[in-house]
Amino acid sequence: MVAVHVLNGPNLNLLGTREPATYGAVTLAGVEERLKAKALAAGVELTFRQTNYEGELVSFIQQAGLAGAGIVINAGAYTHTSVALRDAIKGTEALAIEVHVSNVHAREEFRHHSYMAPVCVGVICGFGVASYDLAFDAIVPLLQKRLAKPAA
C-alpha cells in the first residue's frame, strides 16, 4: 500500500493565526483533515506530523524514508538553514516533495534558497494550503510507479 508522510516543521502549528496575510486562515488541523479525506479516497495510508525541533524532523524523515513512504515536507524556516534535513532525505533515498504555503520566491531573499530542494523530486509553493493537496496528488503516482518497479 502506498504510504505518504506529511511532515511539518517549526511554527506550522501556528497556521491559521500566524501572519494570516501571508499564510491564510486554515489551521494545520484543517490541512490534516483535507489530506485525510484525499488519502481515504485514494486508498493511501497517511501519517501527518508536526514538530518545532530540527532533530525530530530528521527522525521523522528517516522513519518515512526507511519505511519506503513518500514525504510531503514543509520544513518551515529549516528549509533555508538545514543541511541535516537534506542529508536525511538523501541518506534514506526518500521520495520527497518540498511544499510551502507562501511563494517563498516572492519574499525575502533568505527564503529563496532551499537546502532540501536539490534532493526532492520537486517543489510546490505559493498556492496557500492547496500546496499540500497539489503535492499529495503529485507524489501518489510517483510512489505507485516506484512500488511497481521490481527491485534491482
In this structure, are residues 131 and 100 in contact, taking their beta carbons and an 8 Å threshold?
Answer: yes
Cβ nearer to ligand DQA, comparing 63 with 79: 79
- When computed from its CA atoms, the radius of gyration of the chain, rounded to whole angstroms, is 14
Catalytic residue among 23, 78, 115, 132: 23
Name the 3-class secondary structure at 101. Answer: coil
Q: At a CB cut-off of 8 Å and minimum separation 6, what does 128 contact?
A: 23, 24, 26, 101
Cβ nearer to ligand DQA, comparing 39 with 104: 104
Q: How many CA atoms lie within 13 A of 143 on its CB side?
A: 27
Catalytic residue among 5, 78, 100, 132: 100
Question: Using CB under 6 A as the criterion, which residues of the chain lie in contact with ligand DQA when the complex forms?
Answer: 11, 74, 76-77, 79, 100-102, 104, 111
Does residue 53 carry a catalytic annotation?
no
Residue 80 marked ligand-binding: yes
Give dist(CA 137, CA 123) in Å, integer: 13
Does residue 113 carry a catalytic annotation?
no
Residue 74 marked ligand-binding: yes
Residue 140 marked ligand-binding: no
In this structure, are residues 4 and 47 in contact, taking their beta carbons and an 8 Å threshold?
Answer: yes
Cβ nearer to ligand DQA, comparing 42 with 127: 127
Grid coordinates representing 114 are 532551499
Residue with CB nearest ligand DQA? 76
Residue 103 marked ligand-binding: no
Residue numbering of the annotated binding site for substrate: 74, 80, 87, 101-102, 111
Residue numbering of the annotated binding site: 74, 80, 87, 101-102, 111
Catalytic residue set: 23, 100
